[in-house]
């Protein structure tokens, strides 16, 4: 018979295991960012997390497996940057500024890992898929938003929606290293990026 105490114990263990796994994933990202994929070892990841190699193997079968998990989490952070709540979808300025800020933050916080992932994607088809998703899925969402604004007469895009989306995303990626180098410029960069996005939409930032 399972008692209430037994369930509580299992739940406590589940939470502890979840925290350990999360700590390993976070440690793996830091280790990959610092060492690159080829030079990073399971021992490096375990040491970064403050656990043994045996503990690592409880949660992951290999270095490539934990790398894939980190890559998936980074991809999800970029997608989450376009899922902000409480915004008026009919206010291009509010949407543009909020999503630009969230996308820039996702880039700056994960820039070092993205660099490693891009290199790894050259030889690993699975990583190539994740690399493409980090870029193509946000571009697709932005393109659909631009298309809707244009159809409603709320925007006069300077180019087809996908081109506008690619230009906006590429500009954020270009400015991210500047913010990494000098975080105090974040708000200034967001101002510039928002103004450029609105111009691409054919909307006067001063309106």
CATH number reported for the structural domain that contains residue 31 in this entry:
1.10.10.60
Residues 52 and 120 in one domain: no
Residues 5 and 85 in one domain: no
Residues 195 and 175 in one domain: yes
Residues 178 and 79 in one domain: yes
Low-confidence ranges of the chain (pLDDT < 50): 1-2, 7, 9-13, 15-16
| Eight-state DSSP code of residue 85 | S
Residues 114 and 45 in one domain: no
pLDDT of residue 5: 55
pLDDT of residue 12: 45
CB 111: neighbour CB atoms within 10 A?
15
Are residues 121 and 127 in contact, defined by beta-carbon separation less than 8 angstroms?
yes
pLDDT of residue 91: 85
Q: Which residues contact 30 (CB under 8 A, 6 or more apart)?
A: 48
Closest CA to 158 of 46, 25, 166, 8: 166
Dist. CA 84–CA 98, nearest whole Å = 8
pLDDT of residue 10: 42
Residue 113, domain CATH: 1.10.357.10
Residues 42 and 66 in one domain: no
Q: State the burial class of residue 29 (Cβ atoms within 10 Å of its Cβ: 0-12, 13-18, 19+).
A: buried
pLDDT of residue 130: 86
Choose one of 11, 30, 60: the last residue of a domain.
60
Residues 24 and 120 in one domain: no
pLDDT of residue 207: 53
| Domain span holding position 38 | 1-60
pTM as predicted: 0.80
Dist. CA 24–CA 42, nearest whole Å = 10
pLDDT of residue 1: 45
pLDDT of residue 72: 92
Closest CA to 24 of 49, 41, 57: 49
Residues 104 and 194 in one domain: yes
């Amino acid at each position: 018979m399972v008692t209430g105490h037994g369930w509580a114990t299992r739940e406590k263990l589940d939470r502890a295991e979840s925290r350990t796994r999360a700590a390993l994933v976070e440690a793996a990202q830091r280790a990959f960012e610092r060492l690159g994929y080829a030079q990073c070892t399971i021992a490096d990841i375990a040491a970064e997390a403050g656990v043994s190699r045996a503990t690592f193997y409880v949660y992951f079968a290999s270095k490539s497996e934990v790398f894939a998990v980190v890559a998936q989490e980074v991809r999800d952070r970029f997608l989450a940057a376009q899922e902000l709540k409480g915004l008026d979808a009919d206010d291009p300025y509010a949407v543009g500024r909020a999503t630009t800020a969230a996308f820039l933050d996702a880039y700056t916080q994960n820039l070092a890992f993205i660099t490693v992932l891009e290199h790894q994607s050259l030889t690993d088809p699975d990583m190539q898929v994740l690399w493409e998703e980090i870029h193509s899925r946000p571009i697709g969402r932005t393109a659909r938003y631009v298309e809707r604004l244009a159809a409603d007469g709320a925007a006069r895009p300077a180019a087809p929606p996908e081109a506008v989306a690619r230009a906006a995303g590429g500009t954020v990626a270009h400015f991210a290293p500047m913010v990494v180098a000098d975080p105090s410029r974040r708000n200034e960069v967001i101002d510039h990026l928002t103004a450029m996005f609105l111009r691409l939409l054919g909307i006067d930032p001063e309106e």
